Amino acid sequence: MPVTIVGVAAEQKSVYGNNNMLQISMPYTTMSSRLMNRSYFDNLYIRIKQGYSSLEAEQQLTRLLTVLHGKKDIFTYNFDTLIKTIEKTTNTLQLFLTLVAIISLLVGGIGVMNIMLVSVTKRTKEIRIRIAIGALNSDIMQ
């Protein structure tokens, strides 16, 4: 379908990495009648300006579409909710890994103390014999 290009938008970096999808902006009437050959949409992607509440915009949009359709026959998906869920999961995993590291250090420390205790306990007979012979404390420590 021949079209006239009226402008090219600057590339925007995404939070989720490179987005190599082709995105075209055109009037919805043109798209619905000439491209899709129908009068309704399956999906709408809405971008909110910086500084506005996405939750409030989602609620207002749901209310508007429910009034226009006469019933609630839509599903909304908010990326801010996804980002908050990812942050919660990351914080939980960070806490879990910190606890695992603390437990590992504690178990390792107890293991080292146990080995030191066993090695000293094994040598007590030898140390007592050296003391009985009259060895100096510095010789025993060496």
Q: Quick check: is 50 in a domain?
A: no
Q: What percent of the chain has pLDDT over 90?
A: 25
Q: Contact at 8 Å (CB) between 78 and 55?
A: yes
Q: Is residue 8 part of a domain?
A: no
Q: How confident is the model at residue 15 (pLDDT cuts 50, 70, 90)?
A: low
Q: Of 89, 90, 59, nearest to 76 (Cα)? A: 59
Q: Give me the domain span that covers residue 126.
A: 80-141
Residue 29 lies inside a defined structural domain of this protein: no
Distance between CA 7 and CA 25 in Å, rounded?
A: 10
Write down the pLDDT at residue 73.
85
What is the distance between the alpha carbons of residues 30 and 55, in angstroms, rounded to a whole number? Answer: 30
Residue 132 belongs to some domain of the structure:
yes
Q: Report pTM.
A: 0.49
What's the rounded mean pLDDT across residues 90-118?
A: 96
How many distinct structural domains can be found in the chain?
1
